[in-house]
Amino acid sequence: MQYRKMGSLDWKVSALGFGCMRLPSRRFSLMGADLEESKRIIRYGIDRGINYIDTAWPYHLGESEKVVGETLKDGYREKVKLVTKLPVPVVRKTEDFDRFLNSQLEKLQTDYLDIYLLHSLNAGTFEKVKRLGLIDKMEEAQRPHPDARVFPCPSADEENDLFQRMPGCRFSRQTTRGSCHRSGCGGPHNPQSCSSGRRARCRASDRPRSL
């Protein structure tokens, strides 16, 4: 595996990363990720030198982050740089930043991220980022906050509503499955996404244990 310096960050990234937007699907469920097969291929890549794992809140209707969390057990978390994204299109208020971050850390079964991106940026969503002060929230998340307030993770019903509002994704409460009308739920990886820097940590030491 070849490695390259990751911008201004003090580590080298593998030339080939592993994106978790299109994991192997379960039979009869195109949007549902097959845990065991996904785990097998992700670990296969890590064992051969991949050290950059990228996922996001809407991928596989929320299952991608859970699959990655299970996959990175047994010492695999320490072998990679873990990346996920704040779903900017469904953020409505500044406090949503903490709720999503707590939820994503819980799904990923980790207490820190190496990179946290702003997902699906365009002219409109970037204005929202500025209006809600999300850049400041990114910077705050890099620093420990022992007395920070705990924001509850979104409930199952709230997540259903949020998935329906994600660009390109139609979600059904009855089937708890969705169909994607673009290349991936929420669109392809956006090169204009904004990185929070070296590390985005959970601001609460006592995060909610389950959704």
pLDDT, tens only, 30-73: 678 899 999 999 999 999 999 999 999 999 988 999 999 999 99
**Does residue 178 lie within any of the structural domains?**
no
* Residue whose token pair is 């019903």: 157
pLDDT-derived band at 183, boundaries 50, 70, 90: very low
CATH of the domain at 26: 3.20.20.100
Whole-number pLDDT of residue 84? 97
| pLDDT of 204 strictly over 50 | no
Q: How do residues 69-97 score in pLDDT, each as one tens digit?
A: 999 999 999 999 999 999 999 999 999 99
pTM: 0.70
Give a yes or no: residue 36 inside a domain.
Answer: yes
pLDDT tops 50 at residue 195? no
Nearest to 166 by CA among 151, 181, 155: 181
Residue numbers of the domain that contains 124: 3-154+192-201
pLDDT score, position 2: 97
Q: Give the chain's domain count.
A: 1
Residue 120 lies in a domain: yes
Please give the average per-residue pLDDT across 189-209, as a whole number. 38
Specify if 160 maps to a domain.
Answer: no
Average pLDDT over residues 164-178: 41
CB burial string 154-166: b at 16+ within 10 A, e below: beeeebbebbeeb
